[in-house]
Amino acid sequence: MGYMRFNYRSQELGRYVDISIVYPTDRYSYKPIPIVHDPNAKLLFQPYEKDMKFKTVYLIHGGGDDDTTIYRYTNAERYAAAHNLMLVSPNITNSFGVDTSYNVKYQSFLAKELPVVIQSLFASSDAREDNFIAGYAMGGNVALGTAALNPHLFSKCFDISGGIGMTFNTDTLINELNSDHFKNNFALYNSTFGLPDNVKGSDLNLYDKVKRGLEEGIEYPEFTLMCGSKEFIKDRVTADYTTMKELGLNVKYEEYEGYDHNFDFWDMALKEIFSRM
């Protein structure tokens, strides 16, 4: 695979941001490709072609991680190569992927700016059917919320172990923001999402936003929620699945026996989801 770390000044974030980008270069050759007369033979390489475009996965990191972590702790590159996928991982820090109450617009960056930059400067397809979003832990909920708020961008969304941040159960988020646990132990949560009383009237209210969209006939991506059987956040994940199913979204829940909230599970999950793109 080809790996690069692209750094540029984001207009939405108001600062320079790092983005890990992976290309499936091991599948390609600049040399002439021989003609194979055996119909059962498999060519090892494909030729590089002018203006070639790749299916693209926006792969979102978890809390406390950065854009490189997934590539250092899993075989994401190798799994993507097997399915000829381009990967894009922006560094969104511990932002939960929302337009924060402290006025740094991570959701606007992810949905409005980043796809334009990637599809303009790199060999990424702009077709909806060729674009996917996935994430693990915090990044799972970022993927979930971004796909729900911007259904025109992605054909599939994979939420892996997403147990904190954006949710289809709006009261859950409000209760978390009101709880002493988050106020005393994770002040960043409240400073990111803002006042609990403001949630229902904002885009953080995914339930109402998507309900209106479905009534208007908007086509939403195919959602898959994945969780290990031992994960402490399993109830929150299954609650999202139940609510999304009741809304009428195309959503599946997959539970993997024996797995916990760690990279052993996330590595396996990436191998599985890349095979579905």
171-223 tens-digit pLDDT: 999 999 999 998 888 999 999 999 999 999 999 999 999 999 999 999 999 99
pLDDT value at position 39?
67
Rounded Cα–Cα distance for residues 236 and 219 (Å): 25
Tell me the CATH architecture of domain 2-169+219-274.
Answer: 3-Layer(aba) Sandwich (3.40)
pLDDT value at position 45?
80
**What residues in the chain have per-residue pLDDT under 50?**
none
Please report, as a single letter, which amino acid is at residue 239: A
Domain chopping of the chain, boundaries: 2-169+219-274
DSSP of 34-74: PP---TT---S-EE--TT--BEEEEEE--TT--TTHHHHHS
Among residues 37, 92, 19, the alpha carbon closest in space to that of 61 is found at: 92
DSSP of the chain: -EEEEEEEEETTTTEEEEEEEEE-GGGEESSPPPP---TT---S-EE--TT--BEEEEEE--TT--TTHHHHHS-HHHHHHHTTEEEEEE--TT-TTSB-TTS-BHHHIIIIIHHHHHHHHSSB---GGGEEEEEETHHHHHHHHHHHH-TTT-SEEEEES--SS--S-HHHHHHHHHSHHHHHH-HHHHHHH--GGGSTTSTT-HHHHHHHHHHTTPPPPEEEEEEETT-TTHHHHHHHHHHHHHHT--EEEEEETT--SSHHHHHHHHHHHHTT-
85-114 tens-digit pLDDT: 999 999 999 999 999 999 999 999 999 999
Tell me, yes or no, if the pTM score tops 0.85. yes
pLDDT value at position 261?
97
